């Protein structure tokens, strides 16, 4: 059977590394899918555990020159600390490098810069000792930065050179040449130019770039960290007749938790006692508090209002809603968008090409008559500047930030492919009941017949429908109870399928149903029929009531449109997106809802299977379609659409069949999802454009193109600074997505 697992890959430095790991694992015959994310340093693998083992995957990664560690899923409330630990370690290493590199620059170039140098170690007075000190300091720097040489030369031996290989060869060449020059100078007695400062400063600057990159990459995960931090750290739990405060991870399913006013609800559960309002904005993005009472469900990490609650825990730890959200966001942030494939292919060939270009440029300059020292500078500069790190980071950093922003707004993208697809949506199709509408019928109008009061009509109607169980009947009963109407004893309920009911109430036979049923019962409706027609034209369902053959009146019930549905449709139109309703309801009701919501079109009397067929037809006509639904009957259409968007309050089947999950019930998240996806894709294109332009322009300049026409020559040290800056620029640009305004119209 297929097994899906997440690993942490240790030792990757550039896109060539991630591609090497991905290629090594994908070649295993029992692996169906493998995706490596450079930004998160994670690998997602799907494999058949009946044909192969996890150890074989580990062996393949080891053979590729990297280390595989298990990914440990954190409990909500405990954000991962790996990123900060990595940053602190890199910072300590950088400061050591900086001290020794600056000391080397001081010893090597202090006299030329006019700085005071002790005579005993000066270049002019004691050349040999000065050289030995430079050699010693350079060796110390190279030992501190040994990761470049260990990883780089191993990659070369495997036939898969990477960024570390470029740095190792470039700095190693400069070092060996300097040692050779120093020995030759000692033999000849003539001072020669040494380049110990170049390897030292290159390594230091590249380490600075990695330090900044690590810091910025850590910030891309801040949104996920904030999700972890949402959970309540502790819970008040009833134990053995007393109340004890426990860490939230120790709460078990079935425990009774006490939630004080203003405190976070610690677990998913059911309210046993109390009434309150709950702020669910941190999970749903919806600002309005939700009223809760005994019997209602509550979600962990939401904030209790002014009422005290007793809550029975139903889902804790990894089974909680918050843990599920975090899991989806992390999986999505680690997945690849289709646009990344081209970048991965290019990065795979880039490093070998860089070696070839560097060598060719050096040879050309030697042929042109330049010195070996000059050619060496060219060789080192090209190798250092051509690292494809920015190319490898362009897509994943934007996806990480984008999915995190979406999660904060109650929008969960299940993978990077969905995030990209969503940007191209030009048609959004809404299910009606429970999606555009509340999904709960309510009484909207009471029209009594002549000589009958509203209260009497409501009393007799609710009494007759009390035991019916039909959703429309329950709406009438609930309305009567809310109004404080005293119900009368009823008996003899008889249901006539699809038409109505009869019941004995207060000694009279009460008839309830549609117009056809009333005519069967010889009830003269008179002016009530016209009133019922007007109500039906407004997407309301009219029900007639009579006592014997005497009409009592009409009660209309409707599933109200959600308050923000029309606004969501309007915002989609502003984005250039067409909208439609697809429903099994009759034409009159469907068109009335469509008019109220403002959709461009409506498809009515469509069976569940027909919904998927209609979506397929739209796609065949060249439309890029998103389907928004909440019910079991929507699942086929959600799966058929280019992007399936499930309202989080819907069924598990609808959610599992979708690509995007809206945590709340608000449809305002739909235009937000499209706006966010377009912003992410735009950001990715900016990053890729920068990466391509950087490498296209930087390599020829480093090879001496400008110098050939009288311009400046790019030194190896400047090349190192440019390379580091390119990666930091890409990550920083991705971070701008944190400030996107999804609320604007």
Tokens 């959610």, residue located: 655
SS (H, E, C) 411-437: EEECCHHHHHHHHCCCEEEEEHHHHHE
Sheet bearing 290-292, strands edge to edge: 290-292, 276-279, 303-304
DSSP 8-class letter at 264: B
**Contact 476/443 with Cβ under 8 angstroms?**
yes
Name the pairing type of β-strands 578-582 and 601-603. parallel
Alpha-carbon distance values, 372 to 364, 579, 699 (Å): 11, 68, 20
Range list of H helices, 659-709: 669-702, 705-708
Rounded to 10 degrees, the C-alpha dihedral 233/70/4/347 comes to 110
Alpha-carbon distance values, 465 to 460, 487, 560, 627 (Å): 9, 10, 21, 36
Token pair for residue 479? Answer: 């309305």
Return the ∠ at Cα 326 (arms to 320 and 327), rounded to 5°: 90
571: Cα separation from own chain's centroid? 22
**Contact 734/397 with Cβ under 8 angstroms?**
yes
Catalytic residues: 431
**For the stretch 55-68, what's the b/e string if a residue is b when 16 or more beta carbons lie within 10 angstroms of its beta carbon?**
ebbbebbeebbbeb
Q: In degrees rounded to 5, what are phi and psi of residue 506?
A: 55, 40
Tokens 């060796």, residue located: 139
**Contact 735/401 with Cβ under 8 angstroms?**
yes
Name the pairing type of β-strands 67-70 and 578-582. unpaired
Cβ neighbours for 247, distance < 8 A, ≥ 6 positions apart: 233, 234, 235
């Amino acid at each position: 059977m297929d097994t899906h697992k997440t690993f942490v890959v240790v030792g990757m430095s550039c896109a060539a590394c991630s591609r090497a790991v991905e290629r090594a694992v994908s070649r295993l015959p029992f692996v169906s899918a493998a995706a490596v994310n450079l930004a998160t340093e994670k690998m997602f693998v799907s494999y058949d555990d009946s044909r192969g083992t996890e150890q074989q995957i580990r062996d393949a990664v080891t053979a590729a020159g990297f280390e595989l560690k298990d990914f440990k899923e954190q409990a909500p409330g405990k954000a991962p600390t790996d990123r900060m630990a990595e940053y602190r370690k890199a910072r300590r290493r950088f400061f050591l490098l900086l001290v020794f590199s600056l000391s080397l620059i001081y010893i090597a170039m202090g006299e030329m810069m006019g700085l005071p140098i002790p005579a005993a170690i000066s270049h002019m007075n004691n050349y040999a000792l000065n050289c030995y000190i430079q050699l010693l300091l350079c060796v110390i720097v190279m030992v501190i930065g040994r990761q470049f040489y260990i990883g780089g030369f191993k990659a070369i031996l495997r036939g898969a050179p990477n960024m570390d290989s470029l740095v190792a060869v470039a700095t190693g060449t400069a070092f060996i040449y300097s040692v050779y020059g120093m020995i030759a100078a000692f033999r000849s007695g003539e001072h020669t130019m040494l380049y110990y400062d170049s390897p030292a400063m290159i390594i230091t600057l590249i380490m600075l770039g990695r330090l900044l990159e690590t810091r910025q990459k850590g910030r891309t995960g801040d949104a996920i960290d904030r999700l972890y931090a949402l959970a309540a750290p502790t819970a008040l739990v009833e134990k053995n007749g007393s109340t004890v405060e426990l860490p939230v991870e120790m709460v078990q399913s079935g425990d009774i938790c006490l939630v004080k006013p203003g405190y976070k609800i610690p677990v998913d559960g059911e309210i046993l006692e109390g009434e309150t309002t709950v702020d669910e904005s941190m999970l749903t993005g919806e600002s309005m508090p939700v009223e809760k009472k005994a019997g209602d469900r509550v979600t962990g990490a939401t904030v209790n209002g002014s009422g005290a609650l007793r809550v029975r825990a139903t889902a804790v730890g990894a089974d909680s809603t918050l843990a599920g959200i975090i899991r989806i966001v992390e999986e999505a942030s680690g997945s690849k968008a289709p646009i990344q494939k081209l970048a991965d292919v290019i990065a795979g060939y880039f490093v070998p090409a860089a070696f070839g270009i560097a060598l060719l440029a050096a040879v050309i300059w030697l042929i042109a008559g330049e010195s070996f020292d000059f050619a060496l500078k060219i060789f080192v500069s090209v190798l250092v500047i051509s690292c494809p790190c920015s190319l490898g980071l362009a897509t994943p950093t934007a996806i990480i930030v984008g999915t995190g922003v979406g999660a904060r707004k109650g929008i969960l993208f299940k993978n990077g492919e969905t995030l990209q697809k969503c940007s191209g949506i030009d048609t959004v199709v809404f299910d009606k009941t429970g999606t555009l509408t509340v999904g709960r019928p309510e009484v909207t109008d009471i029209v009594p017949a002549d000589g009958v009061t509203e209260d009497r009509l409501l009393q007799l109607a609710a009494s007759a429908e009390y035991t019916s169980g039909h959703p429309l009947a329950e709406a009438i009963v609930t309305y009567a109870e809310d109004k404080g109407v005293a119900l009368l004893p009823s008996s003899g309920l008889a249901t006539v399928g699809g038409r109505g009911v009869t019941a004995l109430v207060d000694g009279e036979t009460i008839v309830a149903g549609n117009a056809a049923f009333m005519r069967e019962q010889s009830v003269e409706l008179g002016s009530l029929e016209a009133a019922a027609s007007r109500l039906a034209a407004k997407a309301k369902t009219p029900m007639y009531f009579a006592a014997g053959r005497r009409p009592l009146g009409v009660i209309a019930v409707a599933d109200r449109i959600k308050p923000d549905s029309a606004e969501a449709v309007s915002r989609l139109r502003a984005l250039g997106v067409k909208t439609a309703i697809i429903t099994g309801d009759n034409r009159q009701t469907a068109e009335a809802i469509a008019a109220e919501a403002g959709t461009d079109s409506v498809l009515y009397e469509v069976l569940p299977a027909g919904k998927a067929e209609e979506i397929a037809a739209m796609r065949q006509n060249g439309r890029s379609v998103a389907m928004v639904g909440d019910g079991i009957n929507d699942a086929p259409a959600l799966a058929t659409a280019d992007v399936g968007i499930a309202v989080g309050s819907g069924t598990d089947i609808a959610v599992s069949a979708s690509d995007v999950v809206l945590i709340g019930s608000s449809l305002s998240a739909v235009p937000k999802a499209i706006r966010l996806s377009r912003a992410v894709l735009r950001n990715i294109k900016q990053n890729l454009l920068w990466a391509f332009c950087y490498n296209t322009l930087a390599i020829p300049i480093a090879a001496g193109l400008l110098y050939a026409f009288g311009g400046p020559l790019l030194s190896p040290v400047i090349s190192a600074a440019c390379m580091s800056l390119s990666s930091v620029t890409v990550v920083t640009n991705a971070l701008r997505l944190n400030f996107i305004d999804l609320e604007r119209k």
